[in-house]
Amino acid sequence: MKKFLLLLVAVFFVGSFAMAQDGKKAFKQANRLLGTYNLDPGSNADKLVEAKDLIDEALEDAEIAAMFKAWILKGKIYNELIGTELTLKIIDPAHEIVDIENGEIALDALMKANELAVKSFEKRDVIQNLRVSAGHLSNCAITSFSDKAYEAAFKNFVLGLDLNDFFIEVGEEPSFSDTASLGEQVFYTAVSGYYAQDYEGVAPIFERALAGDSPDPFIYEGYYNVLKESNMEKALEILNEGRAKYPNETALLYAEINHMVAEGQLEALIIKLKDAVEKDPENISVYTTLGAVYDNLSTKAKADGETEKAGDYFNNSMSWFEQALAKDENNFDALYSLGALFYNKAATYTEALNELANDFSVAGNKKYDALKLEMDALFEKAFPYFQKAEAINDKDMNTLLAIKEIYARKGELEKSNEYKERIEALNN
């Protein structure tokens, strides 16, 4: 029994020794192949790929993984791999970088080498190769950003900032030597993180941008949008700060308008919207939004029994929708909104007509007929706007429903049924 146990130990020892030997062999061969590649990169691209596979294999061995030389070699190999891809991208902008994560892998390897570096020349070797990484990470970020690959852009921009902070921490010259270039890096990191919708990850980048000199208006707008779902109080602080700093910035004004719309702050909203019209008179959406706000105020005033005020609001609503159409006679929102304005007002007559229908007196009949004429006139006024809206978008369900109902009220049941069939077909 003892002899059997000794035999097992011997086999295990031989196996471990063989693995170590294989790891060392793979490491040495990877080192040689990188040297061969560097002699003539154009003719030895396959040697670099082979070197990558070998260094990855070598580092599976614990003994090799404890060596500074192995990790610095991996960093160099992966830096060459991503550098080659970036060069091809410069030569041919249509070239797709397949392994853009190689830049991150190179950085990780070099940081591991830094942990294992003892001698001063080893530390210098790490810093020298990290400088190469800094350039590659920046180019990877810019390339991804240009390709609208915002997740990859954000990751590489963040890694670039982290590496810049590392250089400062160890007393080396930072990647971004002046405030302007660092501010630009932080800005594009925030933009890419925002468009990648990594709101948790990008929040500290927005904070960093706000702490810098003269943050771009987008920083306030973007950070407001990032925070508004989770922390509206802070989001409003950011938005108000941005509005105070950039009072003429329309993007921030619209962000404030959207917030007020969501909160139903209609009276105060009118002031902001009129300000937006002055600053951006060609933006038709501001005109239609003003029309919608006045329409809501008219409905509310009528419900509160303030008939005169309701009429004033109605006229203001109509005026802003008409101003929108004066800017663009084919604006769908303005056309539909004007149709809806008259249609909804006509619909408010229904309750009064139902009450008068039970009054069979001569006076009651006269009132009924007069009120019905007013109602029918409003439906007729709404009708052409809906027809024009349909000509622009013949699949808008609300437009089709309104036209169907008006045809039914006019007694044109065949046309009404035609629209009913179209609506059912769309629903299916």
**Residues 6+ away with beta carbon under 8 Å from 53:** none
Confidence at residue 256, expressed as pLDDT on a 0 to 100 scale: 86
Tokens of 58: 């070598």
Residue 118 confidence class, pLDDT cut points 50, 70, 90? very high
Segment 398-404 shows an average pLDDT of 94
Tell me the pTM: 0.70
pLDDT digits (tens, 9 = 90+) for 32-69: 999 999 998 888 889 999 999 999 999 999 999 999 99
Average pLDDT over residues 239-252: 88
More confident residue, 96 or 66: 66
Mean pLDDT, residues 328-355 taken together: 88
What are the pLDDT digits (tens) for 280-291?
Answer: 899 998 999 899
User: Averaged over 133-154, what is the pLDDT?
Assistant: 94
pLDDT of 18: 47
| Amino acid making up residue 191 | V
- The 10 Å CB-count burial string (b at 16+, else e) for 19-34 is eeeebbebbebbbebb
Please give the average per-residue pLDDT across 182-201, as a whole number. Answer: 96
Average pLDDT over residues 127-141: 95
Taking the domains of the chain in order of start, what are their residue ranges?
A: 181-246
pLDDT score recorded for residue 359: 67
- Residue 83: its pLDDT value, please? 93
pLDDT attached to residue 276: 87
Percent of the chain predicted with pLDDT > 70: 94
CA dist list (Å): 331 to 250, 287, 390? 21, 11, 11
Between the CA of residue 410 and those of 163, 365, 369, 389, what are the distances in Å? 73, 20, 15, 20
- Over residues 262-286, the mean pLDDT reads 87
pLDDT exceeds 60 at position 155: yes
Residue from 321, 319, 312, 368 nearest 340 by CA: 321
Backbone angles phi, psi at 232, to 5 degrees: -65, -35
Is residue 352 a contact partner of residue 307, using CB atoms and an 8 Å limit? no
What is the average pLDDT across 205-230? 94
For residue 223, pLDDT over 70 is answered with: yes
> Tell me: the pLDDT tens digits for 342-363?
999 888 877 777 776 676 677 7
Average pLDDT over the chain, rounded to whole?
89
Angle at 351 between CA 348 and CA 353, to 5 degrees: 100
- Min mean pLDDT across 17-26, 163-172, 312-321 is at 17-26
Banded pLDDT at 386 (limits 50, 70, 90)? very high
- b/e for 281-294, b at 16 or more Cβ within 10 A? eebbebbbbbbbbb
